[in-house]
């Protein structure tokens, strides 16, 4: 058991949309990511995802609406639901993700931003 400073871990992240793993518990990974701009429409057939916004404002687009997630807020995307996270106005957004270890970055979608080889930081 070692405590981790989240601010220090965020400083280690240099690429947008490339999560780094900071913890594991009960088959779940805790990941940090810096987001900027648009991502890609995707879903996860068997896994829910929890997004905790640490810094900035995250926009989560769904087929029927867009949710706005502010610092200190969370959003759970249920399994099987198509979603597309993005940021506005060139803002850098810092998020913490909680998801099962088997979760593929962009689900069944393959895209230039797909990163299924996430590393511990």
Instruction: Tell me the two tokens of residue 12.
Output: 């280690």
pLDDT band of 2, cuts 50, 70, 90: confident
- pLDDT tens track for 18-72: 999 999 999 999 999 999 999 999 999 999 999 999 999 999 999 999 999 999 9
CA distances from 84 to 20, 22, 40, 58 (A): 19, 23, 6, 10
Neighbours of 68 (CB within 10 A): 12
Three-state SS at 38? strand
Q: What is the pTM of this model?
A: 0.90
Instruction: Tell me the two tokens of residue 42.
Output: 């995707």
End-to-end CA distance of the chain: 16
């Amino acid at each position: 058991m070692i405590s981790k400073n989240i601010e220090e871990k965020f400083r280690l992240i240099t690429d947008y949309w490339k999560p780094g793993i900071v913890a594991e518990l009960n088959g779940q990974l805790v990941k940090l990511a810096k987001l900027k701009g648009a991502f890609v429409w995707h879903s996860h057939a068997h896994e829910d995802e929890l997004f905790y916004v640490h810094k900035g404002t995250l926009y989560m687009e769904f087929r029927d609406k867009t949710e706005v997630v502010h610092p200190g807020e969370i959003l759970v995307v249920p399994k099987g639901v198509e979603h597309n996270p993005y940021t506005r106005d060139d803002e850098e957004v810092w998020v913490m993700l909680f998801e099962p270890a088997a979760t593929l970055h962009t689900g069944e979608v393959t895209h230039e931003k797909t990163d299924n080889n996430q590393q511990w930081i």
